[in-house]
Structure 1
């Protein structure tokens, strides 16, 4: 057998061995439903900014792309590199990208790992930052890119990637690289907007750290946006009440906690927080009733179960 043929067989055998050790789940794109009436069959967000990516700088470039799209004009790859680029890793971690997004006063919403959600965000005009593995699971080459569109007829995906302003990949090729990045995808929105695919739990999970970091303005705006979209979810009112309480606006805090009680009367945290806001307003009897309700709802809870005693101790110090 000619040497050239032997070499081809050896490479084929190596490929099979590598593939056997790295079996993956079925791809999602073959199961995608065709566009519904009125849905775009092709989307290209051509106004999305483009920053050619130098070596190992795909994280800052991709994040600058989506931040600028969301209205953060000062977001540039060079500025972001100071925040998120890790020289020891020659790259950026997802946690760093998420943290930098919050520092910019934006909401970092991590999508559910579903191809259809990617398409829905693009149809809504939201470019999507994705993590890809451009090589193999055993020897990964991690890469961030920004998806800016798709074509359902030719089954292509369009990206801002590397030095390519409009990279075109087949659905198969793109999803395979995205799948090896665990389908991680990020949409960045101003606090006054929600992503097209947002659910209350995932969106609020993205907003809560803004409150924890005392970024009161974007956090409050995010909570108000969530309350408007999901008015029956008490977490938004609890968040708004917490911010008002921390900034010593006890009238607003009590109003928000009352709204939380209204939509979720069985939630002990709503009654407990209301009790403290009322206490600071000098409405002692109402505060006692609220603390007693919290304790009755969760008598075994380490905090709510001691609500009455804790509040009485605080009231005696006033």
Structure 2
């Protein structure tokens, strides 16, 4: 099978297991190809944990879940030096961050020190303990989740740390038809039904790295690159496009936003089987890339304007070419 066929087969299998969450499945694969991390926000029970767990079964990689709690320590995530009394030395004990796929469940429940330790590892791809630095695996993806319902006793992520995430994905409830399919899937799994779709052969890490390279090499016309740059610039200088837009945005996207937009648009185009990036690819990922990178004004919040509505306006006002 070609690289595209391997990833396509993996996507179809994941969608058969994570019913009604096609967007989440696609964003996970985009993050895998774009070599970035996901922040997923959604109510409990929407298969966020199951999605990344099943992804780990569909690729050659190990998975670890960390439940973030207020009493968690940075060393519980990164690992720490353990004293060995038999020879009086210290030996580094790796933490859960050293797995290929890591689920940081309810990241906003842990205090700032723990969040900072995780996000530093995400950005630097290494962990420093004492005088030593330890590299993380080459295939490394963190999916952090947030519960938008219960905010009591939580520590919201600062904007500067949110910027480390490639995308911020919002997960909603499945529709009626998907809910019926979920019931059937759970019954089939409980009965070990033979009707369940067979899990494909795991995609090797070498294949994932090769697919990343192919997505990086996709043709992107200068006009498309300019479009991505102008979207970012419009978020920083909204007054050039609309006074209403200017009244909604306090701070626009950082350069990380433009880089993420380019990488995600390329991965989106590659997963669609194209050898070039189109404006549709940019627009398809724009909300997830910019959602956590825009700081809205008090006026916008007072009028009930959210980041998605602001991004809609950006896409409407910035010309494609």
Specify if TM > 0.5: no
State the TM-score, normalized to the length of structure 2. Answer: 0.23
State the TM-score, normalized to the length of structure 1. Answer: 0.23
- The structure having more radius of gyration, on CA atoms, is 1
Higher relative contact order, chain-length normalized (CA < 8 Å, sep 6+): 2
